[in-house]
A = this chain, B = another copy of it.
Amino acid sequence: MRKLKLTHPDFQDLTDQKAAKVLEILEATQSLLIEEGYAGLSMRKVAARCNMTVGNLTYYFSAKQDLVHILLDVALEGYTDDIREIMADTRLSGEQQLEQALVYIMQDLMTRETTRFFPELWAMANHDPVVNREVQDLYDREQGLIDQLISKVRPDLDGEDCKKLALYISAAIEGHTIFIGHEKGWNSRSAGVIDLAVKNFLDLVRTYERAP
Protein backbone atom coordinates (compact mmCIF):
# COMPACT_ATOMS: atom_id res chain seq x y z
CA MET A 1 0.00 0.00 0.00
CA ARG A 2 1.10 3.50 -0.72
CA LYS A 3 1.52 6.05 1.99
CA LEU A 4 -1.38 8.46 2.31
CA LYS A 5 -1.10 11.72 0.38
CA LEU A 6 -3.42 14.69 0.35
CA THR A 7 -3.42 15.25 -3.38
CA HIS A 8 -7.17 15.61 -3.62
CA PRO A 9 -8.34 19.16 -4.53
CA ASP A 10 -10.43 19.32 -1.36
CA PHE A 11 -7.26 19.57 0.64
CA GLN A 12 -5.36 22.09 -1.46
CA ASP A 13 -6.39 25.15 0.52
CA LEU A 14 -5.17 23.77 3.82
CA THR A 15 -2.22 25.31 5.58
CA ASP A 16 0.71 22.95 5.81
CA GLN A 17 0.17 22.61 9.50
CA LYS A 18 -3.44 21.67 9.21
CA ALA A 19 -2.70 19.32 6.34
CA ALA A 20 -0.13 17.56 8.48
CA LYS A 21 -2.65 17.14 11.27
CA VAL A 22 -5.27 15.82 8.90
CA LEU A 23 -2.79 13.37 7.50
CA GLU A 24 -1.79 12.20 10.94
CA ILE A 25 -5.41 11.60 11.81
CA LEU A 26 -6.07 9.68 8.64
CA GLU A 27 -3.03 7.54 9.15
CA ALA A 28 -4.06 6.76 12.71
CA THR A 29 -7.51 5.86 11.46
CA GLN A 30 -6.14 3.59 8.81
CA SER A 31 -3.83 1.74 11.14
CA LEU A 32 -6.60 1.29 13.68
CA LEU A 33 -8.84 -0.03 10.95
CA ILE A 34 -6.11 -2.46 9.99
CA GLU A 35 -5.32 -3.52 13.52
CA GLU A 36 -8.74 -3.69 15.08
CA GLY A 37 -11.27 -3.59 12.28
CA TYR A 38 -14.17 -1.23 11.90
CA ALA A 39 -15.82 -2.59 15.03
CA GLY A 40 -12.73 -1.65 17.01
CA LEU A 41 -12.36 1.81 15.52
CA SER A 42 -13.43 4.74 17.64
CA MET A 43 -12.96 8.47 17.67
CA ARG A 44 -11.37 8.13 21.08
CA LYS A 45 -8.76 5.69 19.90
CA VAL A 46 -7.93 7.82 16.90
CA ALA A 47 -7.63 10.88 19.10
CA ALA A 48 -5.44 9.03 21.59
CA ARG A 49 -3.15 7.81 18.85
CA CYS A 50 -2.73 11.40 17.66
CA ASN A 51 -2.23 12.78 21.16
CA MET A 52 -5.34 14.85 20.75
CA THR A 53 -8.49 15.30 22.74
CA VAL A 54 -11.69 13.90 21.33
CA GLY A 55 -13.07 17.38 21.20
CA ASN A 56 -10.29 18.54 18.97
CA LEU A 57 -10.59 15.55 16.70
CA THR A 58 -14.20 16.47 16.01
CA TYR A 59 -12.96 19.89 14.98
CA TYR A 60 -11.12 18.23 12.11
CA PHE A 61 -13.67 15.51 11.41
CA SER A 62 -17.04 16.25 12.84
CA ALA A 63 -18.32 12.69 12.63
CA LYS A 64 -16.87 9.24 12.58
CA GLN A 65 -18.41 8.50 9.20
CA ASP A 66 -16.77 11.55 7.64
CA LEU A 67 -13.44 10.39 8.93
CA VAL A 68 -13.84 6.98 7.41
CA HIS A 69 -15.16 8.21 4.09
CA ILE A 70 -12.42 10.76 3.68
CA LEU A 71 -9.82 8.21 4.64
CA LEU A 72 -11.02 5.95 1.85
CA ASP A 73 -11.05 8.87 -0.53
CA VAL A 74 -7.45 9.64 0.24
CA ALA A 75 -6.24 6.05 0.57
CA LEU A 76 -7.77 4.81 -2.66
CA GLU A 77 -7.14 7.93 -4.66
CA GLY A 78 -3.62 7.31 -5.86
CA TYR A 79 -3.95 3.61 -5.71
CA THR A 80 -3.60 3.02 -9.43
CA ASP A 81 -0.78 5.50 -9.93
CA ASP A 82 1.90 2.82 -9.89
CA ILE A 83 0.13 0.95 -12.62
CA ARG A 84 -0.09 4.12 -14.65
CA GLU A 85 3.65 4.52 -14.25
CA ILE A 86 4.22 1.04 -15.60
CA MET A 87 1.93 1.84 -18.50
CA ALA A 88 3.88 5.01 -19.17
CA ASP A 89 7.16 3.16 -19.44
CA THR A 90 7.75 3.17 -23.18
CA ARG A 91 10.67 0.80 -22.95
CA LEU A 92 8.23 -2.01 -22.27
CA SER A 93 6.07 -3.83 -24.77
CA GLY A 94 2.34 -4.01 -24.15
CA GLU A 95 2.65 -7.55 -22.97
CA GLN A 96 5.47 -6.67 -20.63
CA GLN A 97 3.44 -3.81 -19.24
CA LEU A 98 0.53 -6.11 -18.62
CA GLU A 99 2.73 -8.67 -16.92
CA GLN A 100 4.41 -6.13 -14.71
CA ALA A 101 1.11 -4.57 -13.73
CA LEU A 102 -0.35 -7.91 -12.72
CA VAL A 103 2.74 -8.91 -10.77
CA TYR A 104 2.71 -5.54 -9.07
CA ILE A 105 -0.89 -5.88 -7.91
CA MET A 106 -0.39 -9.42 -6.69
CA GLN A 107 2.69 -8.55 -4.75
CA ASP A 108 1.08 -5.56 -3.16
CA LEU A 109 -1.69 -7.72 -1.84
CA MET A 110 0.81 -9.71 0.14
CA THR A 111 1.76 -6.72 2.29
CA ARG A 112 0.27 -6.65 5.73
CA GLU A 113 -1.56 -3.38 5.12
CA THR A 114 -3.31 -4.49 1.99
CA THR A 115 -4.12 -7.95 3.27
CA ARG A 116 -5.92 -6.47 6.20
CA PHE A 117 -7.22 -3.21 4.84
CA PHE A 118 -9.05 -4.46 1.78
CA PRO A 119 -11.16 -7.23 3.31
CA GLU A 120 -12.21 -4.60 5.83
CA LEU A 121 -13.30 -2.36 2.97
CA TRP A 122 -15.18 -5.15 1.24
CA ALA A 123 -17.09 -5.82 4.42
CA MET A 124 -17.79 -2.15 5.03
CA ALA A 125 -18.91 -1.71 1.44
CA ASN A 126 -21.73 -4.13 2.16
CA HIS A 127 -23.16 -1.89 4.86
CA ASP A 128 -22.26 1.61 3.74
CA PRO A 129 -23.22 2.90 0.28
CA VAL A 130 -20.55 5.58 0.32
CA VAL A 131 -17.84 3.04 0.98
CA ASN A 132 -19.35 0.83 -1.67
CA ARG A 133 -19.12 3.67 -4.17
CA GLU A 134 -15.47 4.34 -3.30
CA VAL A 135 -14.48 0.72 -3.58
CA GLN A 136 -16.31 0.24 -6.86
CA ASP A 137 -14.66 3.37 -8.21
CA LEU A 138 -11.25 2.01 -7.33
CA TYR A 139 -11.88 -1.26 -9.07
CA ASP A 140 -13.41 0.51 -12.04
CA ARG A 141 -10.17 2.41 -12.40
CA GLU A 142 -8.06 -0.70 -11.94
CA GLN A 143 -10.09 -2.67 -14.45
CA GLY A 144 -10.05 0.26 -16.81
CA LEU A 145 -6.26 0.16 -16.85
CA ILE A 146 -6.11 -3.61 -17.24
CA ASP A 147 -8.67 -3.22 -19.98
CA GLN A 148 -6.38 -0.76 -21.79
CA LEU A 149 -3.42 -3.07 -21.45
CA ILE A 150 -5.39 -5.99 -22.80
CA SER A 151 -6.49 -3.86 -25.76
CA LYS A 152 -2.88 -3.08 -26.45
CA VAL A 153 -1.96 -6.76 -26.45
CA ARG A 154 -5.08 -7.86 -28.28
CA PRO A 155 -6.22 -4.99 -30.52
CA ASP A 156 -8.47 -7.49 -32.31
CA LEU A 157 -10.81 -7.93 -29.34
CA ASP A 158 -13.87 -5.77 -28.93
CA GLY A 159 -14.50 -3.62 -25.88
CA GLU A 160 -16.89 -5.96 -24.15
CA ASP A 161 -14.47 -8.87 -24.32
CA CYS A 162 -11.66 -6.77 -22.95
CA LYS A 163 -13.84 -5.60 -20.09
CA LYS A 164 -14.85 -9.14 -19.32
CA LEU A 165 -11.26 -10.30 -19.30
CA ALA A 166 -10.24 -7.37 -17.14
CA LEU A 167 -13.00 -8.11 -14.69
CA TYR A 168 -12.06 -11.75 -14.49
CA ILE A 169 -8.37 -11.00 -14.00
CA SER A 170 -9.03 -8.32 -11.45
CA ALA A 171 -11.35 -10.58 -9.47
CA ALA A 172 -8.99 -13.52 -9.65
CA ILE A 173 -6.17 -11.39 -8.35
CA GLU A 174 -8.12 -9.85 -5.48
CA GLY A 175 -9.31 -13.27 -4.37
CA HIS A 176 -5.75 -14.17 -3.54
CA THR A 177 -5.74 -11.62 -0.74
CA ILE A 178 -7.40 -13.99 1.63
CA PHE A 179 -5.17 -16.90 0.69
CA ILE A 180 -1.66 -15.76 -0.01
CA GLY A 181 -1.94 -12.50 1.91
CA HIS A 182 0.27 -11.57 4.81
CA GLU A 183 0.25 -14.19 7.57
CA LYS A 184 -2.28 -16.26 5.76
CA GLY A 185 -0.59 -19.59 6.31
CA TRP A 186 -0.38 -20.54 2.65
CA ASN A 187 2.83 -18.61 2.32
CA SER A 188 5.14 -21.42 1.25
CA ARG A 189 3.18 -21.87 -1.92
CA SER A 190 2.61 -18.18 -2.49
CA ALA A 191 5.44 -17.42 -4.86
CA GLY A 192 4.54 -20.34 -7.10
CA VAL A 193 0.92 -19.31 -7.13
CA ILE A 194 1.75 -15.79 -8.25
CA ASP A 195 3.75 -17.19 -11.14
CA LEU A 196 0.99 -19.59 -12.00
CA ALA A 197 -1.64 -16.87 -11.84
CA VAL A 198 0.23 -14.31 -13.91
CA LYS A 199 1.21 -16.88 -16.49
CA ASN A 200 -2.41 -17.98 -16.69
CA PHE A 201 -3.63 -14.42 -17.14
CA LEU A 202 -1.18 -13.76 -19.94
CA ASP A 203 -2.02 -17.02 -21.68
CA LEU A 204 -5.68 -16.24 -21.35
CA VAL A 205 -5.27 -12.81 -22.86
CA ARG A 206 -3.12 -14.13 -25.67
CA THR A 207 -5.32 -17.04 -26.60
CA TYR A 208 -8.76 -15.70 -25.86
CA GLU A 209 -10.99 -16.35 -28.85
CA ARG A 210 -13.37 -13.59 -29.54
CA ALA A 211 -16.97 -14.51 -29.97
CA PRO A 212 -17.65 -15.17 -33.67
**Residues of A with Cβ closer than 8 Å to B?**
34-40, 115-116, 119-120, 122-127, 135-136, 139, 160, 163-165, 167-168, 170-180, 184-186, 189, 192-193, 196-197, 200, 204
Contacts and interface: CB of A to CB of B under 8 A. Distances in A.
B164 A192 contact: yes
A189 B175 contact: no
Max chain B CB contacts within 10 Å: which of A124, A139, A174, A177? A174
Nearest to A190: B167
A202 to B, nearest CB: 12
Nearest to A173: B175
Contacts of A172: 171-172, 175-176, 197
Chain A interface mostly helix, strand, loop or mixed? Answer: helix
B170 A179 contact: yes
Max chain B CB contacts within 10 Å: which of A115, A139, A168, A178? A178
Given A136-B185, A175-B176, A126 B116 contact: yes
Contacts of A196: 164-165, 168
B167 A186 contact: yes
Given A120-B126, A126-B37, A126-B119, A171 B164 contact: no
A41 to B, nearest CB: 8
Contact of A37 (B124, B173, B186): B124
Contact of A178 (B168, B174, B204): B174
Contacts of A197: 168, 171-172
Nearest to A120: B123
8 smallest A-B Cβ distances: which pairs?
A175-B175, A172-B172, A123-B123, A39-B39, A119-B122, A171-B175, A174-B175, A171-B176
Contacts of A116: 126
